[in-house]
Structure 1
Amino acid sequence: MNGWMAAKPLVLAADAAKAAGTSKELDLGINGFHQYHLFGQELYITNTHIAIFIVMVTLIIFSIIANKVIKKADPTKAPGAFLNFIELIVESVDNLTASSMGEKHGHKFSNYIGTLFAFIFLSNISGLFGLRPPTADYGTTLSLALITFVLIHFNGFKYQKIGHITALFKPVILTPINIIGEIATPISLSLRLFGNVMSGTLMMALVYGLLPKFLTMLGWPAFLHAYFDVFSGAIQSYVFCMLTMVFISDTFGEE
């Protein structure tokens, strides 16, 4: 996952491109920074792993600071700007999950949906800080989609019991289509996010790699970053979370 096994051919392809005289600034693949062996397999620590680590550390530091600010908050005084920002995030996530999954179940998933959105959004905009977005690696998006897939069926068995399985055979003639539809859920989720982020990454790599440097130093690529990284990144994060909530809420049934 996350490009561990895919890193080797991509690294070799990058080396071949450099040997052929391709622009050194045009880097479209997953690069391996450290090779190690595990169970007889050659594995790599790639730029995807490094970017994921940076995103995770950023979220952890933000959470620790937010926790301390909340604990030290004086309820008799007006909250500061940072506390207002935290309250805005929490309230927005709570309202989103309640409106999408219902008041009864929505708040149970607020922590997961909030964390999922924050991770995907920070990953999508990490290109602004010189990183290759982790979500431009299919291993990352597939892993996120598989987590959602597990949650879908966990809640399906929790609320529908055996009916979660028998529903696949109603009507019997459509059983193959129903099964394919279930298998297609994580594939479509992961490919949608991966395709959109990867296309933006490719576009920006082409802009910086193929155009003369003096053109890229004029500042106009900032407008492309605003769309491909910030706007598109926020939209794709929202879409992934919304689909996750819709798929999970469908398993509640009469509950």
Structure 2
Amino acid sequence: MKYAQWIITFPNGFHISETVVTSWIIMAVLIIASYFLTRNLKLVPTSKVQIMLEYAVVTLKNLVEGNMGKDVFKKMPNMFYYIGSLFLFFAFSNLIGLLGFRSPTADVDTTLAWALLTVFLIYFEGMKAKGLAYWKGLMEPVPLLLPLNIVSEFATPISLTFRPFGNILGGTVIMGLLYKLLAFISTLIPNVSIPFLQLVIPVPLHLYFDLFAGCLQAFIFVMLTMVFVSSAAE
């Protein structure tokens, strides 16, 4: 298992971890790609790039509106931009493992930060829609269930944090063990100094853990975010 390392150290003892640097790289790539992909846009698209971008934007907008409901979506139009940004950052955080980087989602700090953002949106929209009456829901259907409802409020950020973290970290651990096993097996083959088994066998597993499972966890996270926030805002 590969742990996040301190890769930048300042004289005052302040450290920056591998997770933070990788997150900066992902954000820089997304910002640069957004800049170049959205240059010279036309009212009537003529390029394949603009057509694909408009198709992706419309599909995402329909997904957000369909899951949150038209009434809630009208009250929260900026939710579309948040969900799109969150999905892209989440997906790229998982896909970056294909390039040999450690996925930021394999660090619980990353998924915890995203979960806290979702919880903040839940409470903010709930208070915005219902005022202080939002908190009366903790005593429904009967006041006796107040302790259980409070526990369920803590369960939301915990489940949002550890679901993607556990899945991505599990894939990282499995791939790390597999690479060590293949390297050991390669040393048992005579006249072979290169661990060639590591070049081919892990490819389908990378496609599953980094590509399929990574995008799936990103989709599940944004879906749960939309459901929780829309329920609070109704």
Counterpart CA distance in 2 for 1:176 and 1:69 is: 56
Deviation at 1:222, TM superposition (A): 1.2
Deviation at 1:92, TM superposition (A): 1.4
TM-score calculated relative to the size of structure 1: 0.82
The AA in structure 1 aligned to 2:159 is: S
Aligned equivalent of 1:13? none
Aligned equivalent of 1:28? 2
Instruction: Deviation per CA, 1:190-241: give whole Å up to 9, x if none.
Output: 1001001111111111122231222112x23110111000000111000000
Counterpart CA distance in 2 for 1:146 and 1:83 is: 34
**1:84 paired to 2:51:** yes
Look up the SS of the partner of 2:196 in the other structure. Answer: helix
Superposition map of 1:24-173 within 5 A: 27-36=1-10, 42-70=13-41, 73=42, 75=44, 78-106=45-73, 107-170=77-140, 171-173=142-144
Counterpart CA distance in 1 for 2:6 and 2:128 is: 42
Give the one of 152, 155, 169 matched to 1:198: 169
Q: Is the 8 A contact 1:128 1:229 kept in 2?
A: yes
Counterpart CA distance in 1 for 2:197 and 2:52 is: 37
Counterpart CA distance in 1 for 2:46 and 2:107 is: 40
Deviation at 1:96, TM superposition (A): 0.7
Counterpart CA distance in 1 for 2:197 and 2:90 is: 31
Of 207-216 and 52-61, deviating more is 207-216
The AA in structure 2 aligned to 1:163 is: A
Q: Is the 8 A contact 1:69 1:83 kept in 2?
A: no
The AA in structure 1 aligned to 2:164 is: L
Instruction: Deviation per CA, 1:92-112: give whole Å up to 9, x if none.
Output: 110111110012333441100
Unmatched 5+ residue regions in structure 1? Answer: 1-26
Question: Which structure would you say has the larger RCO, counting Cα contacts within 8 Å and 6 or more residues apart?
Answer: 2
User: How many correspondences in the alignment?
Assistant: 219
For residues 45 and 250 of structure 1, do their structure 2 counterparts lie closer, same or farther at Cα, with a shift above 3 Å needed? Answer: same
Deviation at 1:67, TM superposition (A): 2.5
Aligned equivalent of 2:186? none
Unmatched 5+ residue regions in structure 2? Answer: 184-194
Superposed CA RMSD in Å reads: 1.5
Counterpart CA distance in 1 for 2:68 and 2:103 is: 29
> What's the % identity of the aligned pairs?
38
Deviation at 1:68, TM superposition (A): 1.1
Counterpart CA distance in 2 for 1:198 and 1:69 is: 41
Counterpart CA distance in 2 for 1:124 and 1:35 is: 26
Runs of 4+ in 1 over 4 A off after TM superposition: none
Aligned equivalent of 2:229? 248
Deviation at 1:82, TM superposition (A): 1.2
Counterpart CA distance in 1 for 2:196 and 2:48 is: 40
Counterpart CA distance in 2 for 1:169 and 1:74 is: 52
Aligned equivalent of 1:12? none
Instruction: Deviation per CA, 1:146-180: give whole Å up to 9, x if none.
Output: 00000000000000111111111221110011111
Counterpart CA distance in 1 for 2:46 and 2:156 is: 42
Counterpart CA distance in 1 for 2:53 and 2:168 is: 27
TM-score calculated relative to the size of structure 2: 0.89
